[in-house]
């Protein structure tokens, strides 16, 4: 009799546990953004949240946790319970560059997260100010050779994709230059427009109007193909710089150890959101290309990105 009672209790407990798992989510889901409102990660997170709510049947709350180049939010995600209720939408810096850039990083992008999906990507474009008398990458290389250590490269900050794109370019072209980091892309672009600095690798969407108006000159795109918005601008490969494909990108991750069935549910929600016309229109306006790949594909991509940027950082002596 006692054996039957124990068996019944265990069976009931198992059924309760199973129903609890099947009920995910049964409360609001929170998305942490490691940067201030208005940036690419923030806009991306707020764009996908409504579509995710439709699939999950729960409110999706977006919270900004800026600081330490994304490390504050990333550390919070790392310490969160892996139950699918805390996620993070972060950038190339948070998920890949930081691992090679900072020796004492408070989190490890390759070990502390389970990756749900790469959301969007955007190539950088190599632009020069009006005072630099060059129209092609070859001419820029020649100019830099005649002015060693003098060409200034503006970036949105140390360790940003535009900063490291410049470092990669100089490594690939065997040229030198001066890095001029700013506190954000807006300030870098302003000084580029004012010819206070010479060159920059900026997100396509951030400088597209300036290129189209003729205020900045685009020399090359860092994508695999030419950008539809600038069909006459060649890729870096077409310009003679091999092995230089660079995208800025955003993705969503969960704490390591999140059950695979929950990751699958989150991926379903993200994928559905990215297919919504409103989301596609928003991303297009920002110059983003929607990716929406699988957890396995994003995980592999993240590993490749970490390896690529570690190589660039170490070669340039930029590790901090």
The alpha carbon of 197 is separated from its chain's Cα centroid by a whole number of angstroms, namely: 25
Say yes or no to pLDDT of 13 above 50.
Answer: no
CB 124 within 8 A of CB 114: no
201 pairs with which residues across the strands? 126
- Give the Cα separation of 180 and 320 in Å (integer): 17
- Give the Cα separation of 266 and 117 in Å (integer): 9
What the block records as the tokens of 208 is 């597209």
* Residue-level pLDDT at 22: 56
- Give the Cα separation of 185 and 197 in Å (integer): 13
Say yes or no to pLDDT of 193 above 60.
Answer: yes
**Tens digit of each residue's pLDDT (9 = 90 or more) over 101-147:** 999 999 999 999 999 999 999 999 999 998 899 999 999 999 999 99
**Tens digit of each residue's pLDDT (9 = 90 or more) over 229-272:** 899 999 999 999 999 999 999 999 999 999 999 999 999 999 99
- Give the Cα separation of 196 and 129 in Å (integer): 8
CB 180 within 8 A of CB 206: no
* Residue-level pLDDT at 185: 82
**What are the structural domains, with CATH classification, of the chain?**
30-122+248-316 (3.40.190.150), 123-221 (3.40.190.10)
* Residue-level pLDDT at 38: 85
- Give the Cα separation of 202 and 240 in Å (integer): 20
91 pairs with which residues across the strands? 250
* Residue-level pLDDT at 236: 97
Say yes or no to pLDDT of 8 above 70.
Answer: no
- Give the Cα separation of 177 and 150 in Å (integer): 6
Average pLDDT over residues 24-43: 93
């Amino acid at each position: 009799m006692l054996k039957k009672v124990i068996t019944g209790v265990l069976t009931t407990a198992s059924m309760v546990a199973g129903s609890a798992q099947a009920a995910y989510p049964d409360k609001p889901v929170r998305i942490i953004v490691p940067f201030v409102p208005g940036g690419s990660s923030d806009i991306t997170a707020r764009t996908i949240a409504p579509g995710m709510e439709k699939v999950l049947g729960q409110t999706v709350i977006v919270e900004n946790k800026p600081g330490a180049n994304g490390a504050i939010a990333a550390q919070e995600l790392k310490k969160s319970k892996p139950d699918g209720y805390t996620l993070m939408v972060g950038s190339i810096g948070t998920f890949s560059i930081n691992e090679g850039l900072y020796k004492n990083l408070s989190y490890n992008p390759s070990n502390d997260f389970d990756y749900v999906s790469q959301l969007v990507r955007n190539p950088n474009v190599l632009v020069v100010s009006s005072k630099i008398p060059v129209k092609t990458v070859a001419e820029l290389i020649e100019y830099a050779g005649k002015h060693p250590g003098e060409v200034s490269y503006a970036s949105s900050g140390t360790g940003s994709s535009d900063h490291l794109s410049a470092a990669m370019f100089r490594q690939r072209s065997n040229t030198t230059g001066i890095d001029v980091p700013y506190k954000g892309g807006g300030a870098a672009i302003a000084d580029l427009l004012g010819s206070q600095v010479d060159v920059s690798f900026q997100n396509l969407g951030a400088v597209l109007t300036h290129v189209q108006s003729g205020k900045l000159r685009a020399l090359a795109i860092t994508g695999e193909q030419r950008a539809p918005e600038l069909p006459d601008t060649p890729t870096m490969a077409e310009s003679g710089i091999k092995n230089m494909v660079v995208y800025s990108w955003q993705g969503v991750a969960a704490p390591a150890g999140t059950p695979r069935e929950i990751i699958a549910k989150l991926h379903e929600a993200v994928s559905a959101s990215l297919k919504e016309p409103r989301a596609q229109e928003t991303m297009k306006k920002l110059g983003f290309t929607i990716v929406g790949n699988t957890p396995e594909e994003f995980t592999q991509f993240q590993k490749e990105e970490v390896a690529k940027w570690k190589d660039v950082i170490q070669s340039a002596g930029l590790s901090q």
